[in-house]
């Protein structure tokens, strides 16, 4: 690009780009909405986000209130839709709503940071190649054999149990899988003829990276963000369950741990276990669905293979016979049945 661009045009360009991106996101959400499975995911995630943001207004009780002695161990009722805890009488629904905050925050933020780190590492390895590539791939191989959960436990022990450390550790050890996938995709893109054509036209590495390589991997990154967010939510819950999460926050994993420790199993307080489990389930389910639907949208081959069976089930026999009949030589000759242009079945 030439240096003569003044500030105004640069701003215009950036503005244009931002608008374009927003439009893309809008289009994309529309696509998700149109897909029956995507719609469920979108609804679930939207509800969770609303719960997380407006938790103090939505939650009927203060989840931190441990002084309700009279309300200990109540089964679900109109007052306490999901019952209360046996030990302290906290309202489980309120805890569940507050727990959304932790899960979403950890899950989504880790997912996004991971996508960035994985993309950077994968693209560097694939596009620059050579020494950078082998260095990154060696690191990936080492990380692959170190058992993740024990390592996370050790590191949270070393650095303290707050969510910054937890996110950091998840990111530091989660990028390898994505980096591998991105790398192999970048290798394919890098050797494609359209990149060669751009190189021939004098394109800089930057241009090729921004116009060809990055857009080519973007679908993978978006999809991965949704799927890893779901995975991280499970991992966070597991960590909290082991009592290794942030001890001051209410999280679903910690609720489960409290339930187990507080004797929910023993005293038959099933609601205390089921509630956080449902929370985890819906959160992970929503994000997974979005991720899977994205994969279907971006990878139409998979859709085609499953769609064709549905299509065949709903095939109109009469229509099929008409199509076959329309091909008959005799009828074409007399000209009363024309081979009508094919329409959707």
Partner 1 sequence: MKKSFVIKRILYAVFIFFVVLTLNFFIPRIGIDDPAERYYPPQGGMSDIEYEIIKQITREQYGFHVSTWQQYLNYLEDLSQFNLGVSLRSGSPRVSALIGERLPWTLVLSVTTLIISLFIGVLIGTVAAWKRGRWQDTLLLNASTISVALPAFFIALMLSFYLGFELELFPAYTNPNMVAQFDWSWEAIRVVANNAALPVISMAIGGIVGYGQNTRNSVIAVTNEDFILTARAKGLKQNTILYKHTLRNAMLPIVTSLGMSISGLIGGAIIIEQIFNWSGMGTLFLEANSTGDYPLMMGIMLFLSTFAIIANLVTELFYVVLDPRVTVGEKR
Partner 2 sequence: MNDNMLTMRNLKVVFPSNAGMIRAVEGIDLDIRKGECVAVVGESGCGKSVTSLAVMKLLNSPPALMRVDELRLDDEELKDYSETKMQSIRGQHISIIFQDAMTALNPVMTVGRQVDEMFLRHNDISKKEARKRTLEALELVGVPEAKSRANNFPHQLSGGMRQRVLIAMAFACMPKLIIADEPTTALDVTIQAQVLEVLRGMQQKHDVSLMLITHDLSVVSNVADTVYVMYSGKIVEKASVRDLFKTPHHPYSYGLLASVPKLSDTKHQFVQIPDSVPHPLRKPSGCYFHPRCRYATEQCKKEMPPLERFDNGREVRCYHPLNVTDTELQS
Partner 3 sequence: MSENENRDRPIIDMRNVSVDFPVKGPIPFMPKKKVRAVTDVSLTIDYGETFGIVGESGCGKSTLANAMIGMVKPTAGDVLFKDVDLFKLKRKEFKRIRRDMQMIFQDPYSSLNPRFNVYQLISEPMFIRGGVSDEDMKARVVELLELVGLSDDDLYRHPSDFSGGQRQRIGIARAISLNPDFLVCDEPVSALDVSVHAQILNLLVEIQSKLKLTYVFISHNLAVVKNVCDNMIVMYLGKVMESGSAESIFRNPKHPYTHALLSAVLDVDIENRKERVVLKGDIPSPIDPPKGCRFWKRCPFAMTGCKDKPAELLDIEPNHAVACHLVNDVFTDAEKDAGLNQPIEDHAEGLLGTHGKK
Asked whether position 206 contacts partner 2 by CB under 8 A, the answer is: no
Least CB distance to partner 3 at residue 207 (A) = 6
> Which phi-psi region, left, alpha or beta, contains residue 243 (left: φ > 0; alpha: ψ -120 to 50)?
left
The dihedral formed by the CA atoms of 49, 54, 59 and 61, expressed in degrees to the nearest 10: 140
Which residues in the 7-26 window bind partner 1 by CB under 8 A?
none
Asked whether position 339 contacts partner 2 by CB under 8 A, the answer is: yes
Residue closer to partner 1, measured from CB, 187 or 203: 187
Pick what 4 binds: partner 2, partner 1, partner 3, none; C-beta below 5 to 8 Å, kind-dependent: partner 3
Give whole-number Cα distances, 77 to 49, 81, 82, 263, 264, in Å.
Answer: 26, 5, 7, 21, 18
Which two tokens mark 300?
A: 């139409």
- Is 100 in contact with 52 (CB distance < 8 Å)? yes
Q: Give the separation between CA 140 and CA 119, rounded to whole angstroms.
A: 13
Helix and strand numbers (H, E) in the chain are 16, 0
Pick what 273 binds: partner 1, partner 2, partner 3, none; C-beta below 5 to 8 Å, kind-dependent: partner 1
Pick what 132 binds: partner 3, partner 2, partner 1, none; C-beta below 5 to 8 Å, kind-dependent: none
Which residues in the 319-338 window bind partner 2 by CB under 8 A?
320, 323-324, 327-329, 332-333, 335, 338
Tally of CB atoms within 10 A around 211: 14
Residue closer to partner 2, measured from CB, 161 or 303: 303
Over the window 243 to 282, marking each residue x when it contacts partner 1 by CB under 8 A and - when it does not, the resulting string is: -------------x--xx---xxx-x-x--xx--x--xxx
Tally of CB atoms within 10 A around 40: 15
Residue closer to partner 1, measured from CB, 66 or 142: 142
Q: Is the dihedral of CA 300, 302, 304, 310 positive or negative?
A: negative
- Is 245 in contact with 234 (CB distance < 8 Å)? no
Q: Give the separation between CA 316 and CA 165, rounded to whole angstroms.
A: 59
Residue closer to partner 2, measured from CB, 210 or 304: 304
Over the window 288 to 307, marking each residue x when it contacts partner 2 by CB under 8 A and - when it does not, the resulting string is: -------------------x
Q: Contacting partner 1 (CB under 8 A), which of 230, 255, 290, 294? A: 230
Q: Contacting partner 1 (CB under 8 A), which of 237, 255, 290, 294? A: 237
Least CB distance to partner 1 at residue 131 (A) = 16
Pick what 25 binds: partner 1, partner 3, partner 2, none; C-beta below 5 to 8 Å, kind-dependent: none
- Is 166 in contact with 157 (CB distance < 8 Å)? no
Alpha helices (runs of H) in 262-316, residue ranges in sequence order: 264-267, 270-298, 300-313
- Is 77 in contact with 22 (CB distance < 8 Å)? no
**Helix, strand or coil for residue 91?**
strand
Size of the site for partner 2 (CB under 8 A): 22
Least CB distance to partner 1 at residue 9 (A) = 48
User: What residues make contact with partner 1 under the rule CB under 8 A?
Assistant: 138, 141-142, 144-151, 153-155, 157-159, 230, 234, 237-238, 241-242, 256, 259-260, 264-266, 268, 270, 273-274, 277, 280-282, 284-285, 288-289, 292, 305-306, 308-310, 312-313
């Amino acid at each position: 690009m030439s240096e003569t661009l003044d500030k105004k045009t640069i701003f215009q360009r950036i503005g244009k780009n931002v608008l374009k991106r927003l439009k893309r996101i809008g289009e994309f959400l529309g696509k998700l909405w149109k897909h029956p499975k995507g719609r469920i995911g979108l609804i679930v995630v939207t509800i969770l986000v609303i719960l997380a943001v407006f938790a103090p207004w939505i939650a009927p009780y203060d989840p931190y209130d441990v002084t309700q002695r009279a309300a200990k161990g109540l089964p679900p009722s109109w007052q306490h839709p999901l019952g209360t805890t046996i030990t302290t009488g906290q309202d489980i629904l309120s805890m569940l709503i507050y727990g959304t905050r932790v899960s979403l925050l950890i899950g989504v933020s880790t997912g996004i940071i991971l996508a960035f780190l994985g993309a950077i590492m994968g693209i560097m390895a694939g596009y620059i190649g050579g020494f950078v590539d082998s260095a990154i791939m060696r690191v990936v191989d080492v990380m692959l054999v170190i058992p993740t959960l024990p390592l996370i436990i050790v590191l949270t022990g070393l650095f303290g149990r707050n969510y910054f450390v937890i996110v950091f550790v998840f990111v530091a050890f989660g990028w390898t899988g994505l980096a591998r996938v991105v790398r192999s995709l970048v290798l394919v893109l890098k050797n494609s003829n359209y990149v060669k054509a751009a190189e021939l036209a004098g394109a800089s590495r930057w241009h090729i990276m921004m116009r060809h390589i990055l857009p080519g991997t973007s679908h993978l990154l978006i999809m991965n963000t949704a799927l890893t967010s779901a995975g991280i939510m499970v991992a966070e819950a597991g960590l909290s369950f082991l009592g290794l999460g942030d001890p001051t926050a209410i999280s679903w994993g910690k609720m489960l741990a409290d339930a187990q420790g507080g004797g929910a199993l023993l005293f038959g307080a099933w609601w205390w276990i089921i509630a956080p489990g449902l929370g985890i389930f819906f959160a992970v389910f929503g994000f997974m669905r979005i991720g899977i639907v994205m994969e279907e949208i971006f990878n139409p081959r998979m859709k085609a293979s499953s769609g064709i069976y549905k299509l065949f089930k709903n095939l109109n026999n009469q229509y099929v016979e008409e199509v076959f009949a329309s091909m008959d030589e005799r009828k074409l000759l007399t000209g009363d049945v024309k081979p009508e242009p094919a329409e959707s079945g």
